[in-house]
Structure 1
Amino acid sequence: MTTTSPAKPTITITITYCIGCNWMLRAAWMGQELLATFQEQLGAVSLVPGEVGGIFEISLDDELIWERKRDGGFPDVKDLKTRVRDRINPQQDLGHIDRAKSGE
C-alpha cells in the first residue's frame, strides 16, 4: 500500500541580525512567533548572523519584507505577521490581530 504525504512547504523566512548589537534574541523571538503562526505554511525560518553595523533584515524567500534602517526600526510582531500573511495566504485569519484592526 502506498501512502502519499502532503507536500512539505518550501517558503523560507530569513532573519539577518547584527552580531555586534546582540540582536540574536530579538531575531529568534520573531522567528518563533512566525513559526507558531504559520507552522503549516513555512518550510524554514533561518537566523543569519550579519555583519556589525546595525543590520536587521527579514526576507521571505528572496523578497526583503523588513529592513531596520529603511523601515524605521524593528517591526511590531503584528505588522510582521501581517506582512508575511499578506504574501503567503491573504485569506488567513490572524485572530486577535485582525480583530483589533477592524475595531471588534
Structure 2
Amino acid sequence: MEIEYCTQCRWLPRAAWLAQELLTTFEEELTELSLKPGKGGVFVVRVNDEVVWDRREQGFPEPTAVKQAVRDRVAPGKSLGHSDKPAS
C-alpha cells in the first residue's frame, strides 16, 4: 500500500496521519504502507498499484471513505464499526 503526497504542498503530516489511521485499522491485513514523496499537488492512495483515492478527482479524503475503499480491497468482510457506510 502507498500514499503519494506533494512535498511542495507540505502534505507529509496529512499523509502520515492517514497512514496511521490505516495501519491501526488494518493492522492484521496490511504488511506495509509506504509514504512516497511527489510533486504537483499529488495526494493518491494506492492498494497493490490500484488507485483507491485521488485528490484531483475526489478531493481530500475523509479517513472513513479511504478506510472503506481499502477494506473493500484487502478485507471485504471486515466490519469497520461506526465507520461503515449505512446499508442502502
Q: TM-score range by the shorter chain?
A: over 0.9
Q: Which residue of 1 aligns with 2:72?
A: 86
Aligned partner of residue 5 in structure 2, secondary structure: strand
TM-score, normalised via structure 1 length: 0.79
The reply on whether 1:101 has 2:86 as its aligned counterpart is: yes
The reply on whether 1:27 has 2:15 as its aligned counterpart is: yes
Specify every segment of 5 or more residues in structure 2 that has no aligned partner in the other structure, as ranges.
Answer: none
Residue deviations 1:29-76 (CA, integer Å, cap 9, x gap): 00000000000010111001102x1111110011011111122x1111
Residues 1-104 of structure 1 aligned to structure 2 (within 5 Å): 13-51=1-39, 53-71=40-58, 73-98=59-84, 101-102=86-87
Identical-residue share of aligned pairs (%): 47
Offset at residue 89 of structure 1 (A): 1.2
Offset at residue 101 of structure 1 (A): 2.3
Specify every segment of 5 or more residues in structure 1 that has no aligned partner in the other structure, as ranges.
Answer: 1-12
Aligned partner of residue 44 in structure 1, secondary structure: coil
Distance 1:66 1:38 in 2: 17
